[in-house]
Amino acid sequence: MTDLSIRSVAVSPVLAPRRRFMLLRRLLAHRSFQIGAVLVLALTLAAILAPLTGVDPSSMRVRLRFRPPSEAFPFGSDNFGRDVLTRVLYGARVSLWIGFVVALLSGLCGAVLGVIAAQIRGLDAPLMRLMDALMSFPAILLALGITAALGPRMESVIIALTVAYVPAGVRIVRASALVVRELDYVQAARIAGAGNFRIMLRHILPNSVGPLLVHMTFVFAYSILAEAALSFLGVGVQPPTPSWGNIIAEGRDYATEAWWVMLFPGLGISLAALGLNLLGDGLRDVLDPRLKGTG
């Protein structure tokens, strides 16, 4: 019984069969994620297929202004006689694009800055104070200031919102990165002689971004709402290019006569925000035990 050679004792048996993409499968099975994904995909599809209406969003038929929703104008017509449906679909392109780019950019900046702040002690304090300063401005005011300075355009809106949302991302990633930094595998890399760059890129970054991904879906939603607010204030995307925000802004003046002008883009914003929130919920539930980066 004690006479077992080392070879036979040391070899461990065949590994269990691989179960790939467990995370993805779990995600796809999650109810909130499914609903959210369907909503977002539907809206994205609608935005992409906007030209299918065959109508030019800027073509005005002034004699047909303020028509309520009918067969000719499924979402009604606005004060210039433009087809609200077409404008909303083209507006979706702008609003969704803004949301997507802001989420992506602020996420990237947040990830990079967060990991740097956690790993390089000398930069931690200055970076975080800078983020604190940025965060102390309400996002809308900050965005307002920046778009006013850069001139109201889609690009300014994107830059402004990105700047407004980066600090939250940095904080989230830094918090995770601080935990990951103390884990054994990072110590192992240090013992092997890995430099800061390698440690940040290969070890800390991939394991700290879980919570950030969830946050990014919410930033997507906030950006769409923020764009609407900025348009209300006149510093968002400028007409005649439609965005959900500026359609609502324009429709405000005659809200009582043509409620449909505000309703449909408003619905679009609500559905997009809802869908993204549900997506984010699903992501968070699935990633939760892994948010700490230890698998």
DSSP secondary structure, 101-138, as one string: HHHHHHHHHHHHHHHHHHH-HHHHHHHHHHHHHHHTS-
Rg of the chain in Å (alpha carbons): 25
Shortest gap between Cβ of 4 and other proteins (angstroms)? 7
Q: In whole angstroms, how close is the CB of 177 to other proteins at the nearest point?
A: 14
Of the pair 13, 54, the CB lying nearest other proteins is at 13
Q: How far is the CB of 3 from other proteins (least distance, A)?
A: 9
Q: Which one, 54 or 295, has the nearer CB to other proteins?
A: 295
Buried b vs exposed e over 90-119: b needs ≥16 C-beta within 10 Å?
Answer: bbbbbbbebbbbbbebbbebbbbbbbbbbb
Closest CB to other proteins among residues 115, 166: 115
CB-nearer residue toward other proteins: 3 or 71: 3
- Output the six-digit token pair for 276: 């993204």
Closest distance of CB 259 from other proteins, Å? 44
- Cβ partners under 8 Å of residue 103, min gap 6: 165, 216, 217, 219, 220, 223
Contact 77, 65 (CB under 8 A): yes
- Note the residues at the interface with other proteins (CB under 8 A): 1-2, 4, 6, 8-16, 18, 22, 25-26, 29, 183-185, 187-194, 198, 202-203, 206-207, 290, 293-295
The smaller minimum CB distance to other proteins, of residues 27 and 135, is found at: 27
Residue 288 C-beta: closest distance to other proteins, Å: 14
